[in-house]
Structure 1
Amino acid sequence: MLERFINHVRKNNILDVQSPYIVAVSGGIDSVVLAHMLQSNGFNIAIAHCNFKLRGAASDADEAFVINYAMQLGVPVYVKVFDTAAYMNEMNISLQMAARELRYNWFEELNSSLGTQGVLVAHHADDQLETVMLNLLRGTGIEGIYGMSSKRDFIRRPLLPFSRQEILLYLEDNGLEWREDSSNEKTIYKRNFVRHNLLPLFSVFDPKGPELVQYSFDRIKDTGKAFFYFFDNWIKANVVFEEGYEMLPFSSLVSVPGKSSLLFYWLRKKGFVYAQIEDILCAIESQEAGRQFLSGSWMLNIDREGLILGKQQEVDKPIQVGLDDVAFSVIGQYQYNCVKLNAGVLIDRSTENAMLDFDLLDFPLTLRNWEQGDRFMPLGMQHFKKVSDYLIDNKVPLIKKDRVKVLCSKGKIVWLVGFKVDDRYKIRPTTRKVFYLNKHKDEKPF
């Protein structure tokens, strides 16, 4: 095993014999063996031990054992005592989660303060299989098959390819002592239940059952990598990123195989969960235009031709635009140049910008979110129209309606920002001065 171990860590660039590392040692079989193999092969290691104070005198005996073991190996040892129960109550989490957070937070601090190149933990092949089975029982997707990685952030797991049986043989061959944690036998913990009740059934079915299951998981893992490769290309080809929104046409989704997975992996980074995907697909199939799905600060809008994803818009406080604001005044999600010009300039007919009769305006102007009941007279019309009706007629998606602003003078709308100037404030032959609001082209939306 020792030769295979050295070849494994070198071939896969997991460890460098010239670099210093910390080995997390609980006193159990796996970590005792890992520390022994590393020290025996000239690796520069120190030992770290966590005393969680959960088993009374037994926890203190574990600590004493690890300190003595470090002395035998001739390596430094660092010990941290935790009040795990108090942390669990303070954070309102499970006991196992509390111990995990305390352990890894301290490992990260220790690794940083000592300048070591990583913290080595003794997870092995049996642990990997337990992790994958637990992930499946929790309902995780294809990434649940991935299990633990040999290298992630500052954590290194050099024993992952090796079975518990191989580690036991090394322990016996080298006459090593260890400490048994009685909590490992308690099947009230889900991992222990899987370890003692579920995984042994694989060996009953076939002596090589655990190896065959892990082999299958490895193949699925490789298939998963292929999926994510094609998924990334599908995103690049189909999702349009525009003005802070992500838009996916129905045509890019409904006819492809595996659309539930494609939709989930697109949305999950915004906090959407798989349970919402079926509802979203049903809404698409039923053509429920206008329906919304929420996740944290994000909103998914079923529009007429596709899905629109964007942040939920909070109601902004009104902004005052004064006479002196001739540089960059924030309007909507963009910045605009506010410029006073002489009449006779070339008319800008872009709906993104506005040209208003300066003498008809009462400053300061007010920029605010549009509200139900707001009315204005769209350019070219001689009667009022509700803003809500105007947005509906122009097929503005519901998710975008919340971001629409109005610029007002003495409470009267002079511009539906990004859409139409109010006809009453347009420039005309008698206009002497023009108030020009021009979108700053280099400014990205907030």
Structure 2
Amino acid sequence: MQEAFISHIQNHQLVDTDHRYLLACSGGLDSMALANLLWNAGIPFEIAHVNFQLRGHESDGDQTFVEAWAQSRQILCHTKKAETTSYAGSKGISTQMAARELRYAFFEEIRSNQSLDGILLAHHEDDQIETIFLNLLRGTGIEGIYGMSERKGWLIRPLLAFSRDRLSDFMTSNGYTWRDDSSNQKSEYKRNNLRINGLPAIYGLEPDARKNLLSSFGRLKDTGKAFSGLFELWKASKIKEIEGHQVLAFADLLPMQGGASLLYFWLRSYGFNPEQTQSIWENLQQIRTGSMFMGKGYQLWFDRKEMILCPVQESFEGLILTGDEEEFNLPEEIYQVFRRKGSHEIDPNPQHAQLDEDQLEFPLEIRSWREGDRFIPLGMKSEKKVSDFLIDLKISISKKQQIKVLVSGGKIAWVMGLRIADWVKITPATRKILSFKKR
């Protein structure tokens, strides 16, 4: 086992004697096996242990055991007593999730403070199988087959190629000791239930079930990576970047074999879950213009025969201009304010506006446009709904959400970035011009 471990970490360039690492150590079989393997291989490392205070004296015993093991080998040991239950309550999360957050935050804090080269985790082959099955049960799709990576950022898992039984044989044959966690026998936890009941039943169906599963997972992982590469080529040719938005035409998705998977691969990074993407795919041609789906920080809008993905705009509560401003800020925009005497030299840039100041009533208000808003566009004699005006200009659904209006005395003077109202236009009689220029 020791020789196989050294060969594996060298061949996969996971850890070496030239760097110093942080070992996450609970005191259980897995982490103590990794601790002894590292120690025997001469790999420099420090230890981090979190006492979650969930099992009373048993938790304290784990901490004492790890500290004693480290001290006997003059290995620096960092420990933390975490208020796991109160943390879970304050965050409104499960105890297991709280322990995970506290654990990884502590590990990263130590790694950073000690300038260490990686955090070593003792996940092994059995953990990998359990993780993949749990991913599949959660509906994560082909990515769930990937399981855990041997290296991801600062996290390194040198034992993923080794089974729990092999680690146990290594420990017992060498007389090494470890601590048993009684909570690992509680089948009310999903992972425990799968390990205690589910997987043994599956392995009992076929003599080579475990071997075949690992082989199949490996091939499916390779298939998934190949599909990811093809997806990137498809995305580069079909998804357009327009003003910070991603635009995909139905015609570039519907005829595709595996279109549902392409849609999922596109939206997954923006917080859309598999159920959402499947529902969108199944109803793609029935979803109405103006419909919107929410991811995490992103919105997917439907506009005629296109889907538009854009970041959620920060809420805009409105802005009051007293008339004294030389500059003002809007979300992602800065405008400068100028005043001059009457002139017929008009800036044609629609992002700018020149208004007859004598026609305005201060203070002015800038707000998002609303359904029912009306104004008289420059050059027209009668009112028009702002919504119809935007449709006439073929403004996309997502862009409409960003449109703001300048209001004076309850009347719209400017649909910002598009057109001023006719009643504030510059005429030969204009004495003072109020100009807004986007910086």
Does the C-alpha gap of structure 1 residues 169 and 382 become closer, same or farther in structure 2, counting only changes over 3 Å? same
| Matching residue of 2:318 | 317
CA distance in 1, matches of 2:357, 2:62: 81
| Matching residue of 1:188 | 188
CA drift at 1:364: 5.1
For structure 2, the 5+ residue unaligned runs are none
Map 1:264-343; keep pairs closer than 5 Å.
264-286=264-286, 288-295=288-295, 298-310=298-310, 311-312=312-313, 314-320=315-321, 322=323, 325=326, 328-330=327-329, 334-340=333-339
Query: Is the 8 Å Cα contact of residues 313 and 402 (structure 1) preserved in structure 2?
Result: no
**Given residue 173 of structure 1, which amino acid in structure 2 is its aligned partner?**
S
- Percent identical residues: 43
Residue 210 of structure 1 aligns to a residue in which SS?
Answer: helix
| Matching residue of 2:95 | 95
Query: Is the 8 Å Cα contact of residues 124 and 163 (structure 1) preserved in structure 2?
Result: yes
Query: Is the 8 Å Cα contact of residues 140 and 274 (structure 2) preserved in structure 1?
Result: no
CA distance in 1, matches of 2:10, 2:124: 17
CA drift at 1:306: 0.5
CA distance in 1, matches of 2:104, 2:34: 18
Does the C-alpha gap of structure 1 residues 86 and 340 become closer, same or farther in structure 2, counting only changes over 3 Å? closer
Render the CA deviation track for 1:207-241: whole Å, top value 9, x for unaligned. 43212211211221222222222323333333333
Does the C-alpha gap of structure 1 residues 354 and 331 become closer, same or farther in structure 2, counting only changes over 3 Å? farther
| Matching residue of 1:70 | 70
| Matching residue of 1:145 | 145
Q: Bigger CA drift: 94-103 or 129-138?
A: 94-103
Render the CA deviation track for 1:45-88: whole Å, top value 9, x for unaligned. 23333333333333333333333333444433333333433333
CA distance in 2, matches of 1:244, 1:167: 51
Residue 205 of structure 1 aligns to a residue in which SS?
Answer: coil
CA distance in 1, matches of 2:287, 2:103: 50
TM-score (norm 1): 0.87
CA drift at 1:199: 1.9
Does the C-alpha gap of structure 1 residues 116 and 397 become closer, same or farther in structure 2, counting only changes over 3 Å? closer
| Matching residue of 1:444 | none
Q: Bigger CA drift: 33-42 or 286-295?
A: 286-295
CA drift at 1:12: 1.8
Residue 285 of structure 1 aligns to a residue in which SS?
Answer: coil
TM-score (norm 2): 0.88
Render the CA deviation track for 1:395-434: whole Å, top value 9, x for unaligned. 4344333322222333332222222222233234454555
CA distance in 2, matches of 1:389, 1:67: 72
Query: Is the 8 Å Cα contact of residues 303 and 396 (structure 2) preserved in structure 1?
Result: yes
* 1:158 and 2:155 aligned: no
Map 1:158-307; keep pairs closer than 5 Å.
158-286=158-286, 288-295=288-295, 298-307=298-307
**Given residue 98 of structure 1, which amino acid in structure 2 is its aligned partner?**
A
Number of residue pairs the alignment of both structures matches: 438
CA distance in 2, matches of 1:297, 1:15: 37
Query: Is the 8 Å Cα contact of residues 301 and 397 (structure 1) preserved in structure 2?
Result: no
RMSD: 2.8
For structure 1, the 5+ residue unaligned runs are 441-446
| Matching residue of 2:55 | 55
Query: Is the 8 Å Cα contact of residues 354 and 425 (structure 2) preserved in structure 1?
Result: yes
CA drift at 1:291: 1.9
Render the CA deviation track for 1:305-332: whole Å, top value 9, x for unaligned. 311233256343133162663xx44467
